Structure 1
Amino acid sequence: MCSNALLVISIYRFKRLKHPSNYLVLSLSSADLGIGLVLPVALYFELCRSKIDTALLCFVPFSILILLCSVSILSVTGIALDRYISLASPLRYNNIITDRTIGRYIIGFWVYSFLVSCTPVLWWYFIRPEKHMIACSFNLIGYQVRLFLFFSLFAPCLFFIFSSYAYVYVIARYHARAIFLVELSLRRQTGEVETEAKYGRTLAATTGLFLVTWLPFQVCMLIDIFHNTDILTGKATFYLGVLAVSNTCINPWIYGYRNSEIRYAFSRTLEEFAPKLGYILKSLVPIKKSCAGMPSYASNIRLCHSPKLVVNATETTHTTYLHPPETTYLTETSFLARNSANSVTTTVVSL
């Protein structure tokens, strides 16, 4: 809940992060945050097996959980397709992926997920119209509904995710080899292998964690349906369900904080909100040599407070001083400039 909430707040507060690709991440984090809020109620029903007279009260938390999990899976699929389009049609990407287009897709994700989440309630009232039930549990959702959820949501999303990331890996590998051939004279022979291994690890983590969390529950469900077994009974439903829902804890770190801009916004948000909660944090934003995260300054900046560095007093008037980071190296060059009156020694500082 904390990681998803901070990600939502960071994207909302910083205008630079408000672009179509991050809107999908925002939809994903919102759904995952909702799962964290609804999960305690669903776990209470699943663990305590409370007897409830009204069937609707029992199905409401599980239906909301299905709604939010569906939005989460659809948002992950949308992110995969967004990365696929950025490589398949790079010149048309800005025309295809716009704010209006992504907004329509996100609304479609939520509407479709709402319709899917209503199937357990409709199935109960039309197939089993009893007014009372023995104990409230997720196992009350029939195998017909579970099979419908698998083929209408999980199976197509899994296909699009794997297809998109497989294409991304092939194109990234091709680009890595092309860059390696161009810079062959400047790079070592192991550069290509290291780059391809990095791409492979990133995509394996993205798709592998999705499979590890969601696939066991779906496989056991299919085995129960087609082989008449009882794997998903009792505590097995609880443990496999919690494993599937744990994907919501991983999503912010895979799709959000791996982005340098989102990390910077996340750090700024923590630095601003932590003092209000009684905590004092040091700067969490690392200053790199490239100074990419720093704002632009005027051209009359002078670097000072460096050991054994003297700057002429006449040149420091009406200038802006910037304290250099510890990893910045300064060099100085002295030369003589003569005029009719006297000689002046001037120190030129270069970064």
Structure 2
Amino acid sequence: MGNSSETVSFVLAAYGNVGELKHLYFIIILIWYFSICVANTVLIVVIRLDRRLHEPMYILLCNLCLSEINGSTSLYPLLLSQMFSDSHEVTVPWCFLQMFCLYTSASVEICSLAAMAYDRYISICNPFTYNVIMNTDRVFLMILLVWVYSFLSVIFSYSFIFSLKFCGNIIHSVYCDHQLIIRLSCAVPIQSFISDISFAIVSAFIPFSLISFSYLRILRVCQKTSKENKQKAVTTCTPQIISVSNLCVGCICYFIDFRFVVSRVPDEVRIILPMYVLIFQPMLTPFMYGFNLPKIRQHIIKQWTDCLANTSFS
């Protein structure tokens, strides 16, 4: 194949190893995707219905849940559709669309966690000016900036892929990944290295730096405050710290899979490893925040109790 205009589709070769277990995998993936959508939607609905939760932190949490749904929808429908396909082909436009949606969602998630860390920093370190700095209009402006910033960073970093010339169309994965797509190009351009560095700086290093700065300042303030305030800070910050830590683990798994040749690792592990964040993070978010933040937990318990009471009364 001479160039990208002649390459009309890519073949996701990893599905060839599914074999007779495709029905089982289909059911597991469908249940997992459905659970992700339900769990994140429930959290969004709970925050929307309870006026006590109409605060900056919970509004930002809604945005994080929306990002989880968006990222999962970019991945799982393709997995499900390919499970029973004979050719496992994906057209070039759809492949590029999935790639851009996945990377945009990843950037939105990291930037959203940075915004939430900044919110906690203002709340704990500058409580008297919190309502002025983190008013509703500014929170929605932050959310808009997060999405625009993430979208533009992905476009700026990976738009060069559209002009690549490809000498193959076999992707050894279950989804479209830019690293594997670039490997199919006839000549790896310098833009590949530059784009990886720019995306890592803009979408990962800068947000992680803001998160680290915020929590270091919070830690410094907590050392000088009362035990009650320390406990409150730990309660509100723990879910975010776990989310950030899980993202770091996922980035390490992705880095190991694509930057080194791990010949002794089974094919199944090499396929699942870079998908660690895509699999676990969307489910971790609603459960961590839903069960660890007192206001959300109290609302869920109250609604559940009322539902049981009404059922018993009927």
TM-score, with normalisation over the residues of structure 1? 0.61
- Is 1:85 the counterpart of 2:131? The answer is no
Match of 1:56 in 2: 93
Q: Which amino acid aligns with 2:176?
A: S
- 1:316-338 Cα deviation digits (max 9, x unpaired): xxxxxxxxxxxxxxxxxxxxxxx
State whether residues 67 and 117 of structure 1, in contact with CA within 8 Å, keep that contact through their aligned partners in structure 2.
Answer: yes
**Correspondent of 1:14 among 34, 50, 58:** 50
* Contact persistence 1:63–1:120 (CA under 8 A): no
- Paired with 2:308 and 2:157, the residues of 1 have a C-alpha distance of 42
In structure 2, list runs of 5 or more residues that go unmatched: 1-35, 183-191
| Residue among 273, 279, 299 paired with 1:240 | 273
Which range is displaced more, 91-100 or 234-243?
Answer: 234-243
8 Å contact kept, 1:173–1:199: no
User: Residue 176 of structure 1: which of 210, 223, 226 is its match?
Assistant: 226
Matched letter for residue 180 of structure 2: L
**Which entry has the higher C-alpha Rg, 1 or 2?**
1
Alignment partners' CA distance in 2, 1:231 and 1:46? 26
Aligned in 2, Cα 1:236/1:63: closer, same or farther, shift over 3 Å?
farther
The 3 A distance-change label for structure 1 pair 248 and 223 is closer
**Is the contact between residue 120 and residue 237 of structure 2 (CA under 8 Å) also seen in structure 1?**
no
Q: Which residue of 2 aligns with 1:111?
A: 148
Q: Distance in 2 between matches of 1:238 and 1:220?
A: 11
- Structure 1 residue 255 displacement after superposition: 3.4
Aligned residue pair count:
258
Mark the CA change 1:25 to 1:205 in structure 2 (over 3 Å): closer, same or farther.
closer
* Separation (CA, whole Å) in 2 of partners of 1:201 and 1:92: 21
Instruction: Give the match for residue 180 of structure 2.
Output: 140
Give the helix-richer structure, 1 or 2.
2
Deviation at 1:83, TM superposition (A): 0.6
Corresponding residue for residue 308 of structure 1? none
Percent of pairs with identical residues = 20
Contact 1:11–1:26 (CA under 8 A) maintained in structure 2: yes
Q: Does 1:24 align with 2:60?
A: yes
Aligned partner of 1:151: which letter? Answer: I
Which secondary structure does the structure 2 equivalent of 1:22 belong to? Answer: helix
Q: 1:37 offset after TM fit, Å?
A: 2.7
Higher RCO by CA contacts (8 Å cutoff, separation 6 or greater) = 2
User: Is it true that 1:157 corresponds to 2:207 in the alignment?
Assistant: yes
Matching residue's letter, 1:260: P
Whether contact under 8 Å (1:66, 1:117) holds in the other structure is: yes
Distance change (3 Å), C-alpha of 1:281 and 1:133: farther
Q: 2: distance between equivalents of 1:273 and 1:108?
A: 39
Q: Aligned-pair RMSD on alpha carbons?
A: 3.7
Is the 2:60–2:112 Cα contact (8 Å) retained in structure 1?
yes
Verify: 1:230 aligned to 2:261, yes or no.
Answer: yes
Alignment deviations for residues 38-86 of structure 1 (CA, whole Å, 9 cap, x no partner)? 321354589888333x421112122212222221221111111111111
Give the C-alpha shift of residue 99 in structure 1: 0.6
Q: Give unpaired runs (5+ residues) of structure 1.
A: 180-194, 283-351
Counterpart CA distance in 2 for 1:147 and 1:83 is: 29
Deviation at 1:163, TM superposition (A): 2.0
How far is 1:223 from its partner? Answer: 6.4
* Shift, 1:220, TM fit: 5.7
Task: Describe how 1:241-280 pairs up with structure 2 within 5 A.
Answer: 241-245=274-278, 246-270=280-304
